[in-house]
Structure 1
Amino acid sequence: MVEINSIISTNIGELKIVEFLGRGKSGYSYLAEFGNQKLVFKLMHNEENPYYKFDKNKVELELKSYEILESITSNIPKLIDYSIDKNYLVKEFIDGKLASNAIAENILQKIHLERLIKLAQECEDLNINIDYFPSNFVITEDEIFYIDYEVNEFMKEWSLENWGIYYWLNSKGFKMFIETNDSSFINSDVQKGIPHKVEFEEKAKMLFANFNGLK
């Protein structure tokens, strides 16, 4: 990990680390200052994940994924800098609210779910999945941004419709998860990363049916 207020040397110059943003499957993300500009510095880690395996260098994987995502949507942070040797990425900072926090506060709007479903269907058309876990998204008033660069080959079990949407609908569970860091509030199987589904199945079906009816 990187200490807050430390200075990191990158290809674009020195960044000042000002805030820890979070830990993902592949790395630690930090808010950094570059002059008057806010950026995100992501340092890859080697920690194991019980339900996801990386078969290549994580920076190289994310660079490849970034190229794919650019062809699908403009609602991703721009890649500013990277180093395979030093194992980092520098990305644009998207100013907004983490979707996970919006879900916990029960302030997510219909437009956000509609844009999420639209993005998921565009990904499925290209036979890919992204990581639909809410902490990988930032929302603004009427937009949604995918702030991770993870892309995988499409598998139905990890699609939005069969996996991710159940996190987005579990407001009470996410509130408790954020407060306690106990993932059993959002997962029926913590080790495999399987969300609680039964109580949200009807709402999920209705969401997708209504969206498809609008197309």
Structure 2
Amino acid sequence: MEKFKVNNREYTVDRLLGKGKGGYSYLVYDEKNFFVLKQIHHEPCEYYNFGNKLQAELTDYEKLKKIGIRMPKMLDVDMENERILKEYIEGETIYELVLNDKMENAYIDQMKNMCKLLYAANTNIDYFPTNFVVNQEKMFYIDYECNNYMEEWNFENWGVKYWSKTPEFLKYVEEHS
């Protein structure tokens, strides 16, 4: 069993949840609970420039918290090992719901309400559907990435292309299956 430490507390890896531009996310557990552990990586990303990835996560988390975005709590940060421990939100991702024909209009409505808060704060998030989990009919943004608002990258012009079985979504599925 693979294990990670976050500030000298040990967690056992259940499974890899996914790899993003900034890190690998794992479902981990201790003797009582499940968590998400994000291990920052320094692999190149041809379409995105980072400064200090860990500091960006911390800054973005605080900004989104202030805006009022529903997301998992950040529980601990290990600066030395570049690890973040987050609350685990159980549920299916929007990506899985679209893929399995279980997507509901209510989730688009929740996204539009989230966008009202974000746009008023001159902010975009990563609207890709793997970054959203539904738990008890409530949608959570499970990433912390955010950027200054740009119309071409807002939900209506970019994100929505992946929230139903569009040609863009189906191409992504084909390339990543």
| Range class of TM-score, shorter chain | over 0.9
Q: TM-score, normalised by structure 1?
A: 0.77
Structure with the largest fraction of helix: 1
Runs of 4+ that moved beyond 6 A: none
* 1:103 aligned partner, one-letter code: V
C-alpha separation in 1, matches of 2:44 and 2:84? 20
Gaps of 5+ in 2: none
Aligned to 2:3: 7
Q: Distance in 2 between matches of 1:101 and 1:172?
A: 16
**What corresponds to 1:156 in structure 2?**
151
Q: Tell me if 1:79 matches 2:59.
A: no
* Residue 16 of structure 1, CA deviation: 0.5
TM-score (norm. length: structure 2): 0.93
Letter in 2 for 1:14: E
Task: Describe the superposition over 1:14-53 as per-residue Cα deviations: whole angstroms up to 9, x where unpaired.
Answer: 1001100000010000000011200001101111222211
The number of residues matched between the two structures is: 177
Counterparts in 2 of 1:36 and 1:119: CA distance versus 1, 3 Å: same
Is it true that 1:21 corresponds to 2:17 in the alignment? yes
Q: Distance in 2 between matches of 1:91 and 1:46?
A: 20
Residues 156 and 172 (structure 1 numbering): CA distance in 2 closer, same or farther, change over 3 Å? Answer: closer
C-alpha distance in 2, partners of 1:68/1:116?
A: 18
Alignment of 1:85-164 (within 5 A): 85-164=80-159
Specify the code of the residue in structure 1 equivalent to 2:131: N
Q: Is the 8 A contact 2:132 2:141 kept in 1?
A: yes
| SS across alignment from 1:114 | helix
Tell me the percent identity. 34
Partner of residue 59, structure 1: 54
Question: d(CA) in 2 for partners of 1:8 and 1:180?
Answer: 31
CA pair 121-74 structure 1, distance change in 2 beyond 3 A: closer
**Is the radius of gyration larger for structure 1 or structure 2?**
1
Matches of 1:171 and 1:138, distance apart in 2: 20
Cα distance, 1:68 vs. partner?
1.0
